[in-house]
Amino acid sequence: MTYQVLARKYRPQNFQEIVGQEHVVQALVNGIENDRLHHAFLFTGTRGVGKTTLARVLAKSLNCLEGISGNPCGVCQHCEEIKNGEFIDLIEVDAASRTGVDDTRSLLENVQYAPNKGQFKIYLIDEVHMFSKSSFNALLKTLEEPPAHVKFLLATTEPDKLPVTVLSRCLQFNLKRLTQKQIGDHLISLLEKEAVPYDDKAIQLISRVADGSMRDALSLMDQSLAFGAGKINFDEIRAMLGTVEQSHVEELLKFIQQNDHIGVIDKLEWFHDMSIDYLQLLEDMCSLLHEISLVQSLNKVVGGANFELSELKALSQTVSPEQVQWYYQLVVVALEQLKYTPNKKVSFEMAVIRMLDFELSDGVSEKKTALSEHTAPASVAEKSASSPQINEAPMANAYSSLNEEPVTTKFETAVKQPEPLVAIDLTTLNNKTWPSVFGELQLKGGSRELARHLEILENKNNVITFAVDHSAEIFLNEKAQQSIRNRLLTDSSDYQLKFTLKSEVNSLAQQANKDLNEKAEMMQQIDPIVMDLQNQFDAKIIENKLGD
């Protein structure tokens, strides 16, 4: 007997067997039971989530010999013919192979004729987005006002490609991607029916790789049964898919975080020897960093099919939140570059090297350097004790650092300790002398922007209090504050710097903007061309706010 693949053998035959689309099933069943049937239905969603299956079950419900209901009998002649694709009044069309307007006109020629056997003549058009513009135009009038005996069931993975005129004529149902648990539970129930031995980790792996598609999961299970000679075994499936056990991803991250070059080299060589899928490896690294971040920020542990809970909790304690965000950005960049580089191994190893040898400047990343124990950056707790700071989330620090400060190597971060560039008399420092001092500090990036938006409120009792403009709050992080301290204060200085937010600040940035506005007003008064443009076209002058 010819073997029937699992995706066809176990295709749902009624609404109760459909997995993960309860919101659609409920709407359809209620519409059928209450005699509120639309003439056109559009099913959208990614591949393998049940669009065509739902359409066929709906066709069965409408033409069952037992009568129209939300629970077709499944055994009558009409139900059997629909199941086997032999029902004459169910016209299934693959829009990808019939894109022309002549094909559409030919399809609609018999719309006005009554069904041969069933109560409704049903047109099931799959991948309807493949129709040409002319085909859609030919379909519109019939789609809006078909005869009472006709129902249109449309299915597509790309609803955004459908004209609005078609969308507005249909009752639209968006099918969801299935969760790993939904896929896993369904696979287990089928394997028990087939009396096939399996292990839970293998089912979890198939569910994860299926990526929300039940059909993909069933196809992978067919492939696994062939590969494993009728058994579902985790190690064999992992070898078949070319995936790596998640413990190896966790181990690689540990080596990177510990700055263990030998361990990293050994792990990279192992990946190469095992012919690992480097794209999947980067995606696994993304998932690992994401789950670590969930543990750190939201105290939420997912784990399960992806990673061991104990390992996630351990990594969340050893890798700082700033490092997690920084590593994640590097991996995402590598994933994007992987699309354009011919050698995926090189791209992956370059991403690992960046994670190993680069960190955020000014010590935002807490990773210790192996070059010198004496020059390693201070911990976050030590920084907090040494100087007052404004409380803020770690994410803000990472965001500011990624976008405003240059990346430096560990060697530079370890050996370059910024010192004051000039001798500054702090006893006379006030808001009047601040502009000249600012010019001598030679600050860069976010630190410079923060300094431009400062006003010295008070200099008393060896404490200098700065007001920070609310518009510059994004620059107000510990890294920028520490940079200003490093430029102003010596190691022996007993001065302290305090920063506080204020709505209106007499800062260098405000003064620069004021000067620009005055220049713009002067230009309007003296430049006849500018005045003419304003009078004729209601033009506005756009200020150059680059400042100094």
- How many alpha carbons lie under 13 Å from residue 98 in its C-beta half-sphere? 17
pLDDT at residue 42, as a whole number: 93
Residue 540 is assigned to a structural domain of this protein: no
pLDDT at residue 41, as a whole number: 92
CATH code assigned at 17: 3.40.50.300
pLDDT at residue 301, as a whole number: 66
Residue 124 shares a structural domain with residue 270: no
Domain count, the chain: 3
Residue 518 is assigned to a structural domain of this protein: no
Residue 462 is assigned to a structural domain of this protein: no
Residue 156 shares a structural domain with residue 185: no
183-209 pLDDT, tens digit each: 989 999 988 888 888 888 888 888 888
Residue 416 is assigned to a structural domain of this protein: no
Structure tokens at 200: 């839970």
* Pure H helices in 228-318: 234-241, 246-257, 261-273, 278-298, 309-318
Residue 24 shares a structural domain with residue 167: yes
- Across the strands, what pairs with 43? 155, 173
Residue 166 shares a structural domain with residue 200: no
Residue 32 shares a structural domain with residue 139: yes
Distance, in Å, from the CA atom of 48 to the CA atom of 177, rounded to the nearest integer, reads 9
Structural contact between residues 476 and 499, judged by C-beta atoms closer than 8 angstroms: yes
Residue-level pLDDT, tens digit, the chain, 548 residues: 577 788 888 888 888 888 988 899 999 999 998 888 888 999 999 888 889 999 999 999 999 988 888 888 888 999 999 988 889 989 888 888 877 788 888 888 888 888 888 889 999 988 889 888 888 888 888 888 888 899 999 999 988 889 898 898 899 999 998 888 889 899 999 888 888 888 888 888 888 888 788 998 888 888 888 887 788 878 777 777 766 667 788 888 888 888 888 888 888 888 888 777 888 888 888 888 888 888 888 877 665 445 667 777 788 888 888 888 888 888 888 888 887 877 888 888 888 888 887 766 544 444 444 333 333 333 333 433 433 343 333 333 333 333 444 444 443 433 344 444 456 788 888 888 888 888 888 787 778 888 888 999 888 888 999 999 887 887 888 888 888 888 888 777 788 888 888 888 888 888 877 776 666 666 555 566 666 666 666 666 665 544 44
CATH code assigned at 234: 1.10.8.60
Residue 513 is assigned to a structural domain of this protein: no
Q: Residue 287's domain spans which residues? A: 246-359
Residue 155 shares a structural domain with residue 188: no
Residue 41 shares a structural domain with residue 150: yes
Record the pTM: 0.56
pLDDT at residue 484, as a whole number: 87
Residue 197 shares a structural domain with residue 341: no
CATH code assigned at 303: 1.20.272.10
Residue 197 shares a structural domain with residue 262: no
The helix (H) or strand (E) run that includes residue 150 is strand 150-156
pLDDT at residue 371, as a whole number: 33
Structural contact between residues 52 and 120, judged by C-beta atoms closer than 8 angstroms: no
Residue 170 shares a structural domain with residue 29: yes
Which one of 301, 332, 359 terminates a domain?
359
Residue 196 shares a structural domain with residue 232: yes
Distance, in Å, from the CA atom of 282 to the CA atom of 278, rounded to the nearest integer, reads 6
pLDDT at residue 445, as a whole number: 74
pLDDT at residue 541, as a whole number: 62
Structure tokens at 322: 């700033």
Q: What separation, in Å, do the N-terminal and C-terminal C-alpha atoms of the chain show?
A: 82
SS3 546: coil
Residue 158 is assigned to a structural domain of this protein: yes
Residue 34 shares a structural domain with residue 170: yes
Which one of 341, 359, 377 terminates a domain?
359
Q: What is the DSSP annotation of 454-506? A: EEEEEEETTEEEEEEEGGGGGG-SHHHHHHHHHHH--TT---EEEEEEESS--
Distance, in Å, from the CA atom of 237 to the CA atom of 221, rounded to the nearest integer, reads 9
Distance, in Å, from the CA atom of 238 to the CA atom of 230, rounded to the nearest integer, reads 16
Residue 203 is assigned to a structural domain of this protein: yes
Which one of 139, 174, 209 terminates a domain?
174
Task: Note the Cα 449 to chain centre separation in Å.
Answer: 31
Residue 114 is assigned to a structural domain of this protein: yes
